[in-house]
Amino acid sequence: MARYRFTILPALLFAAQCSFAAEPPAPFENPEPEFHWLQLRNAHGLVTNLPASSREELSHRLVEFRANLRRRKVELDLAEEDGRFDVKDAVITAVLPGGLLYAAFRAQQHQQIQGRQLQMAEQMQDLQQDLIAFGVMPSESLMAAANHSRLAGAE
């Protein structure tokens, strides 16, 4: 039986490969591309064609990205709230032999979450300014927020 082992394995691999080759390929679902070609001409007269997405698709992606950022912000807020050092953690630190290591680990986790929250706030602010510049959300509150953040950045 041991000498047939080396013969059976290549035969099985070949049969599996043939069965995959017999399946027809999946049809292409979207025959029309999601972008159009943008023709650009530089100062020297060189013409290039670049793919450019439609304005509606870009606005939809920006709004979707904003919703995902908000959802992630809520998740980070909950994680930060759970990661705070509370009475339970103080008891574990005092009672258990490895309590100080536990406390240091919890403090490190809390700092990492706070760092992610700061990054998230910066991303939300940048996206809000991009939405205003792109014209997806031209509300007065967003304009005031963008002007306030621009003024705060200048100081």
Q: DSSP states of 90-122 as a string?
A: HHHHHHSTTHHHHHHHHHHHHHHHHHHHHHHHH
155 residues of the chain, pLDDT tens digit each: 556 656 666 666 666 665 555 555 555 555 555 667 777 788 888 888 877 777 777 778 888 888 898 999 999 999 888 888 888 888 988 888 888 898 999 999 999 999 999 999 998 888 888 778 777 665 555 455 555 555 555 54
